[in-house]
Amino acid sequence: DIQMTQSPSSMSASLGDRVTITCRASQDIGNYLSWFQQKPGKSPRRMIYGATNLAAGVPSRFSGSRSGSDYSLTISSLESEDMAIYYCLQSIQYPWTFGGGTKLELK
Amino acid sequence: EVQLVETGGGLVQPGRSLKLSCVASGFTFNNYWMSWTRQAPGKGLEWVASITNSGGSTYYPDSVKGRFTISRDNAQNTLYLQMNSLRSEDTATYYCTREGPFAYWGQGTLVTVSS
């Protein structure tokens, strides 16, 4: 199975900060990487697909990038509504696997 | 507007069965693969099952293979998850998702396996 190692598991940041969350894949997954945001008591929401493509309706301060087997989700200027747990997902090979999640809190 | 509405969750004893349903609307159901994903209380996300748009092929992780069955009725725009031999570790909120991948999620239905 492909392991997705997500870091950090939690972090705190201030409004306006640039924030980066990373997932490392244990095998080549190409660009079959998505990012999801989940707020308390809500269903997850897809933010990024294909490693770099912004999903419909997602603010442009969110972006995705890839460097080798490392995939990153960046928020260019943190807003209060961005406080949530973020998950990555690889969908190139079954079983599809999620990262462990990153809890983003306000400092 | 895409909508996915799950039903069928509840409290069930270990070893028993439960069947979840997901009614889809707002898109052409038979054009899309569909999946189920779950989340144990306070834990992360786990993919549970996927089915092709025709229903001809299905996929599962080892944790549920042989116990869970995903199916669909394209005439009724409905996705199903038959869960047999339930265990305490199957306790979770189960989400119906549309492929893209996971472009849309339902609100989830809670399954609690306990005696």
Closest-CA residue in chain A for B94?
Answer: A43
How far is residue A63's CA from residue A52's CA, in Å, rounded to a whole number? 7
Q: Which of chain A's residues have a Cβ under 8 Å away from the Cβ of B44?
A: 87, 98-101
Do A95 and B61 count as a contact with CB atoms less than 8 A apart?
A: yes
B13-65: pLDDT as tens digits: 999 999 999 999 999 999 999 999 999 999 999 999 999 999 999 999 999 99
B66-109: pLDDT as tens digits: 999 999 999 999 999 999 999 999 999 999 999 978 999 999 99
Q: How far apart are the first and last CA of chain B?
A: 40
Q: In the prediction, which pLDDT does B100 show? A: 79
Exposure of A74 by Cβ count < 10 A (0-12 exposed, 13-18 middle, 19+ buried)? Answer: middle
- Tell how far CA A97 is from the center of its chain: 13
Q: How many CA atoms lie within 13 A of A12 on its CB side?
A: 2
Q: Helix, strand, or coil here: A80?
A: helix
**Phi, psi at residue A92, to the nearest 5°?**
-90, -25
Q: Which residues of chain A have pLDDT under 50?
A: none
Top residue of B3, B60, B102 to mutate, by most chain A CBs within 10 Å, is B102
B110 touches chain A (CB under 8 A): no
Q: In the prediction, which pLDDT does A66 show? A: 97
pLDDT-above-90 percentage for chain B: 96
> Which residue from B45, B62, B104 is facing A98, i.e. has the nearest CB?
B45
Q: Which of A86, A97, A75 is nearest to A1 (CA)?
A: A97
